Amino acid sequence: MADISLRKIVKNYGGVRAIHGVDLAVNDGEFVAFVGPSGCGKSTMLRMIAGLEEISGGTLCIGGRVVNEVEPRGRDVAMVFQDYALYPHMTIRENIGFGLKMRGWKAADIAPKVEEAARILQIGDYLDRKPGQLSGGQRQRVAMGRAIVREPSVFLFDEPLSNLDAKLRVEMRTQIKRLHAMLGTTTVYVTHDQTEAMTLADRVVVLRGGHIVQEGPPMALYSHPNCRFVGEFIGSPKMNILSGILERSGGAARLRVGDALLAIGDVEAPDGAKIDVGLRPEHLIWTAEETSKIKPVVDVFEPLGSDTMAICHFAGHEICARLAPDIPLQRGEAIFLSYDPANLHYFHGENGQRIAPQHSPAA
C-alpha cells in the first residue's frame, strides 16, 4: 500500500490547459473519490496517476517515489475501467490470471491467487465461462478480480459502474465498499455520480474546470459546501437555490424573492446585497397552516414509496421538497411549506462563494 501526492500538477493539451496546478494528498489506505461535471478533469487526473497520460508540470509521487517518468507497469497500480476490458476469447480464470502470467508467474502459483480473488468477489462458479456468458455486473467483478490478484499498492477506478443498471450499481457499490474494507488498499475512484462518491469514499474531491473546488469527508461537503456549485452538485435531489435581495428590518433579516419576503438568519452581507439561499429538499416541511414560510404551486409529484418528491414553482424558482408519502398533493395546487432558518445555506449572488451566518462558529 502507498500514499499518493500530487504537487502543482498541470496537464496541457496543446495550448489548452486542462488541469491547473492541482495539489492533493491521498493517505495510505484511504478511499478518495473524484467527482464533477463532464470535462472537469477527473478522469485526466486519474490517468496521470496511472501513467496513461503524460504530466505537463508538477510532481506526482506514489509511496514517496517520484513517478512522473515511470511507465504504468512500474507504478504498482491496478486500474479498473468503465468497459471492463476483458479478453472475450479467454475464460474468466484466464482473464483474472493474465496479468500474472505476463509477469512470468507459473501456472501453479497463479491458480490459488485466482481462486482467492474469485472467492472474495463471489464469482467462483463462473471461472470456466467466457465473458460473453456473464452479466455486466459479473464482468465488472472479473475486472476487479484481475486487479486484486496483482496485490497493487493503489487501486484506480474509472467510472466502473456507469454501464450498469440501477439495481446492479447499488449491488456493486456494496461489493466495492466491502472489498476496500477487507483489503485496505489505497483507492482513487472517478465517478460522475455523486451518490457513488458519498456512499463509497472516505473523502470526496469536487473538481470544476481543472481545479479542485472543495475536498473533505462526504457529510462535511454536504453540510457545509464552500460555494453554490458544491451545494448544488453534492446531494440528490440537488439543493434548492432561491435568489433575492437581503433586507433588514427591526433587527431581523429577510430575503426578498419576487413579491415574497422570507425569514432567514442574519448573514455577513450588507443590506441590499444580492444573495442566494440554499435549502435541501428534506428540510422543507409540509404544513396545513397558511401561515407557512413558502407557498409554492405543485408542477409534478413523484411517489417513491418511502417519500414523495414535490417539484414546485415559487417566485420564479423551481424547488423540490422531499415529503412524507401520505401528504395529499395535486398538480397545479398550492401547498404550504415551512423550514428552520438554521438549515439554510448562504452564497454570494455574484461569485457563488459561501457567506457565513453571523454568530455561527460552525459555518
Cβ-contact 238, 310 below 8 angstroms: no
58 three-state secondary structure: strand
| Alpha-carbon 164 to chain mean position | 17
Which residue from 319, 158, 169, 303 is spatially nearest to 232, judged by alpha carbons?
A: 319
Distance CA 45, CA 49 (A): 6
CA angle 87, 185, 164 (to 5 degrees): 45
Distance CA 198, CA 204 (A): 7
Segment-wise mean pLDDT, segments of 10 residues, the chain, 363 residues: 93 95 97 95 96 96 96 93 88 93 91 92 92 90 91 94 86 90 95 92 97 97 96 93 91 88 90 95 88 86 94 95 93 93 94 80 38
Distance CA 185, CA 27 (A): 10
Give the number of other CB atoms < 10 A from CB of residue 356. 13
Distance CA 291, CA 229 (A): 32
In this predicted structure, what is the pLDDT of residue 171?
Answer: 87
Phi first, then psi, for residue 130 (nearest 5°) are -100, 155
Distance CA 293, CA 192 (A): 35
| Alpha-carbon 131 to chain mean position | 29
Distance CA 278, CA 275 (A): 10
Phi first, then psi, for residue 117 (nearest 5°) are -65, -40
In this predicted structure, what is the pLDDT of residue 291?
Answer: 60
Residue at grid coordinates 463509497: 200
Q: Report residue 101 as a C-alpha cell.
A: 502470467
Is the bond preceding 37 in cis, omega lying within 30 degrees of 0?
no
Q: Which helix (H) or strand (E) holds 259?
A: none
* Strand spans (E) along 46-185: 57-62, 65-66, 77-80, 154-158
Distance CA 136, CA 144 (A): 12
Which residue from 131, 137, 191, 197 is spatially nearest to 165, judged by alpha carbons?
A: 137
Burial 88-123 (b: 16+ CB within 10 A, else e): eeebbbbbbbbbbeeeeeeeeebeebbbebbebbeb
Residue at grid coordinates 398550492: 334
In this predicted structure, what is the pLDDT of residue 360?
Answer: 44
Residue at grid coordinates 490478484: 149
Four-point Cα dihedral 80, 81, 85, 91, nearest 10: 30
Single-letter code of the amino acid located at 255: L
